[in-house]
Structure 1
Amino acid sequence: MSETPINRAVWSARDIRETTRRLASVREAALSGEPPPDGPSDAPRQVISESWLRALGSGVDPERDSQQRLLSVAELEHRRHNSQLTTVLPVLYDGLLSASDAAQQIMVVTDADGRVLWREGCAPVRRMADRLGFDKGADWTEGVVGTNAIGTALVARRPVLVHSAEHFVRAHHQWTCAAAPLHDPGDGRLLGTVDISGPAHTFHPTTLPLVSAVARLAEGELRTRHQQSLERLRSSAAPLLARIGGRALAVDPHGWVAGVTGMTPTDRVALPKAPEAGPLWLPRYGMCTLEPLPGGWLIRVGRQEPAAGPSRVLLDVSGRDGASITVTGPVGGWSHELTPRHAELLFVLATRPEGRSAAELAQDLFGDGGRTVTVRAELSRLRRHLAGLLAHRPYRFADGVQVELRLPATPVQLLPQSTAPAIAAARRG
């Protein structure tokens, strides 16, 4: 539909009405297997026609909304916490939220599965979206809701605009949306999408270029953060690598290499999805041994000694200005400064070697056993720095890890800024 206002710089109200009418006619013809009403020049755009065919093949009803099964609160929080997009939300909000709100639209961020993780913007439009099931936790893939900017961008792997009756499901014809995919700059992996949606009559054709530009800014921010994390890992790993006599690598949790010794440098190591400290066979390197580092792993190539794991952990909560953890292994040690919440968690685990459930830790920290989502999220963050040192089911220090607790001179000085019930009880002795 090369002559429609979709490709114009400015839309008038008349343009929008005329385009909506023509798109509806084109859709009806396509779904009934008839040629476009005004001939080949009025055929739908290729990205739309291909999406319509996929929706038909998936059994989506073009005349009826699907019943959405939203994610549970716990699953939504889990996905948010584990999404790399969490770190670039400020970039997305700064670039799009004020513009979308002023234009009576909403901004949506999804994960790679098409699940809505965040939704912000104009309150009346959010209520309109609610009636379509377009809420946090909803599945907005083509196989569930048919052609739409989010689901179609996930398939096409490029920015997509879907206007009015280009949507497969009739109830969505009142909407226009523009979405751009977001990728991991390191390996190209699809992370999700960012989308602007709203009533068709409020939409402006510059929205898609804007969404695309902000998506590129967010990917640039991810690239910068990745390089910064590798630099931090490189700094902490350098003393250890200098003391190792054999071959070794320091890698981040995704296998990106921050430093090597005794071998030719490489960019990345193929790690399993959830590596653990100890012996591990790796492609290209054979049998190796993994030791945790703050923000990654030390891989010792060709070493399988059981003693390779961390032998001692010192949790220092003796100071008034902060807490730290020091890990001593066969080739040396490293330290990591703890956030106040992580200091509380590790103190509880150090004093309860038998372990604690998420509900028990929620009671220890907040006096509310129902706050398990927050506890699991904090422990997940903590395990990024202390991989291999912590076990779960129940949460505890891993078997074989020797834990030493360094306390203040008097109990009343223990983590003085903390209001956690478990810390308050420890101060009382």
Structure 2
Amino acid sequence: MAAMDSVRAARLLKGVRDAALSGHRPPVDPRPVIEESWSRVLRRGVDPDRDVRARLLSLEELEERRRTSPLAEVLPELRRGLVSIADAAQHIMVVADTEGRILWREGAPAVLRMADSHGFELGADWRESMVGTNGVGTPLVARRPVQVFSAEHFVRTHHNWTCAGSPVTDPRDGRLIGVVDVSGPLDTMHPATLALVNSVTRLAEAELRTRHLSTLDRLRTTAVPLLAGIPGRAVVVDGNGWTAAVTGMAPTGRLALPKSFGPGRTWLPSLGSCQVDPLPGGWLLRPDDTDGTTAGASAVVVLDLSSPRHPTVSVSGEAGSWTHELTPRHAELLYLLAVAPAGRTASALAGELFGDAGRAVTVRAELSRVRRYLAGLLDGRPYRFREGTDVRVILPQDPADLLPQSLASTVVRARRGERG
């Protein structure tokens, strides 16, 4: 019965895909995440009827990416949670980096051989812009778990395959570090696969968080006696800005550090001008006694969204300049505030982001994190950039590339070239 249901579903999806590609009205609408993906890959010229493959990574390149990937730290956790289940279900587990390159691949030998015939092999490039809608590349763009079933794959030769992928985020800095996918033949599909993959990736993120807390504890044992002998204000942070110990000032969970950070004098929005000295596993920051915690009324804020994968915010003013790479959610929030100078309430922002104005508490929590690195530049009730702040937004060359993971109505309209 399940096999018959899979066959019927595949046949229906083929009709949906064929209608969408020919410009006709489909018998049913594709799921929004799939429709958005099809639109992206059509714009990029992916051939729906031709299997195109990029050069595989060399063995040396593969090993170097494995060595430097944070995913290597949690590979045992992923194997424990997925490999045995994938093997029994005639599936394989695939782990890819943020560029969609397959770094690890394990599971049923017969399915591994089938994957080879699709080019789903070690070192292969499975970005959405290369091979179309799929369980590796599409979650990387959408930044959420995605199951791709049969003809939901954009390229026709992948239609006898089903994939469920979930992005992995590093809790130390909030950055995307890769994607975990479970894939297999169409007739082995199970509706719970996506939930399983998502659960295991969350366990992997929890393991990274536990490792980080242990590292922070070791830094704290060095920091506490050091700070006892320092007059005035000082704080010790790890390489990602997480606070290990403070003296002479209120404690904070994390300081946002700029991308280029090192010993010497620097300026941070939350501390002002300060002296930076290296420590084993972190930094000692000693702020000047003058109050420099805000960028000033004449600050220029540049929200650079030109690169869909690397949005940044830059602040410059009398106290100095500073650039911070944004998470997708923070980029989304700052864009919604930048295009609404009069401001938006937490409820209005929640309605935009989640389609549920009742999730205002979640919005407030996120904006409290944003204010850690935009101290003095954001007001509340409603949330908006402070009066006198010069806010500039750099958009992608193609409007359709604006915040591709966002479902906020304002962003969707802007991607379509609509105003208001």
TM bracket (short chain):
0.5 to 0.7
Contact preservation (8 Å) 2:172, 2:240: no
**TM score, norm. by length of structure 1:** 0.63
1:401 alignment partner in structure 2:
none
Give the 5 Å matches for 1:277-288: 277-288=263-274
Structure 2 counterpart of 1:138, from 124, 129, 144 = 124
Partner of 1:196, secondary structure, is strand
RMSD: 2.0
- Counterpart amino acid of 1:142? E
Structure 1 counterpart of 2:11, from 7, 10, 21 = 21
Structure 2 counterpart of 1:116, from 102, 106, 109 = 102
1:83 alignment partner in structure 2:
69
Contact preservation (8 Å) 2:86, 2:107: yes
1:35 alignment partner in structure 2:
25
**TM score, norm. by length of structure 2:** 0.65
Contact preservation (8 Å) 1:141, 1:152: yes
- Counterpart amino acid of 2:176? L
Cα shift at 1:189: 2.4
2:217 alignment partner in structure 1:
231
CA distance in 2, matches of 1:35, 1:270: 48
Distance 1:76 1:291, change over 3 A: farther
Cα shift at 1:275: 3.2
Cα shift at 1:252: 0.9
Partner of 1:260, secondary structure, is strand
CA distance in 1, matches of 2:136, 2:200: 15
* 1:383-415 deviation per Cα after TM superposition (whole angstroms, max 9, x unaligned): xxxxxxxxxxxxxxxxxxxxxxxxxxxxxxxxx
Partner of 2:285, secondary structure, is strand
2:171 alignment partner in structure 1:
185
- Counterpart amino acid of 1:110? A
From the CA coordinates, give the structure whose radius of gyration is larger: 1
1:299 alignment partner in structure 2:
285
Contact preservation (8 Å) 1:125, 1:198: yes
Contact preservation (8 Å) 1:277, 1:292: yes
Cα shift at 1:177: 0.4
Contact preservation (8 Å) 2:146, 2:166: yes
Cα shift at 1:240: 0.9
CA distance in 2, matches of 1:277, 1:81: 27
Cα shift at 1:99: 0.6
Contact preservation (8 Å) 1:116, 1:135: yes
Contact preservation (8 Å) 1:68, 1:133: no
Contact preservation (8 Å) 2:173, 2:240: no
Cα shift at 1:133: 2.0
Cα shift at 1:33: 0.8
Distance 1:130 1:155, change over 3 A: same
Residue segments in structure 2 that go unaligned for 5+ positions in a row: 290-420
Cα shift at 1:98: 0.5
Contact preservation (8 Å) 1:109, 1:192: yes
Cα shift at 1:186: 4.5
Cα shift at 1:245: 1.9
* 1:366-396 deviation per Cα after TM superposition (whole angstroms, max 9, x unaligned): xxxxxxxxxxxxxxxxxxxxxxxxxxxxxxx
Contact preservation (8 Å) 2:53, 2:125: no
Give the 5 Å matches for 1:186-335: 186-302=172-288
Residue segments in structure 1 that go unaligned for 5+ positions in a row: 1-10, 304-429
Contact preservation (8 Å) 1:100, 1:121: yes
- Counterpart amino acid of 2:127? T
1:342 alignment partner in structure 2:
none
Structure 1 counterpart of 2:93, from 94, 97, 107 = 107
Contact preservation (8 Å) 1:289, 1:299: yes
- Counterpart amino acid of 2:257? L
Cα shift at 1:187: 4.5
Partner of 2:136, secondary structure, is helix
Cα shift at 1:96: 0.3
Cα shift at 1:292: 2.6
Cα shift at 1:56: 0.5
Q: How many residues align?
A: 289
Cα shift at 1:210: 0.8
The 4+ residue runs of structure 1 with deviation greater than 4 A are: none
CA distance in 2, matches of 1:218, 1:151: 20
CA distance in 1, matches of 2:22, 2:2: 30
Structure 2 counterpart of 1:93, from 74, 79, 94 = 79
CA distance in 2, matches of 1:234, 1:207: 41
Matched, 1:166 2:152: yes
CA distance in 2, matches of 1:221, 1:200: 32
CA distance in 2, matches of 1:165, 1:47: 14
Structure 1 counterpart of 2:136, from 137, 143, 150 = 150
Cα shift at 1:75: 3.4
Cα shift at 1:49: 1.5
- Counterpart amino acid of 1:29? A
1:71 alignment partner in structure 2:
57
Contact preservation (8 Å) 2:161, 2:185: yes
